[in-house]
Amino acid sequence: MNETWAQEWITLQNQHEAYERSGLLIKLVAVALVAAGSWLSLSAPAAAALVLVLWAQEAIMKTWQTRFGVRLLAVEAALGGQTTSETRPFQLHTQWQGQRAGAVTLLREYAQSALRPTVAFPYAVLVVLSIYL
């Protein structure tokens, strides 16, 4: 059984790290967008709106990443011998679907992700820069 848990852990960990790299890529695109926008005379509202869209996209992606993190902790507990009757391998989506809340709660999760300092930086700075450049 540990091989099954180990396989799930490796898969989830790789995905978790891929989300981290994707978040960095989105940030770099936002920086490039603001820099290019100032050179190409993109209007301030348009540049700010594009940065806000990228910020929201990363927040959504980080919310998904958080789900992988929660599952990783459950898998690690199982690997350490701390399982419950409800803990079974390869049940990421089934467990999430069983705990899924409504649209308002999901939007609140996205907003919480957007406001985390590791997500908010550099978007808040870029929105201000896009307005004043």
Domain locations along the chain: 2-132
94/34 Cα distance (integer angstroms): 40
Residue 88, φ and ψ in degrees, nearest 5: -135, 150
- Contact status, residue 95 vs residue 89, Cβ threshold 8 Å: no
Q: Which of helix, strand or coil describes residue 116?
A: coil
Is the predicted pLDDT of residue 126 greater than 90, yes or no?
yes
Range of lowest pLDDT (13-17, 19-23, 77-81, 85-89) = 85-89
**Cα separation of 133 and 33, whole Å?**
12
Write down the pLDDT at residue 29. 96
Above 70 in pLDDT, residue 47?
yes
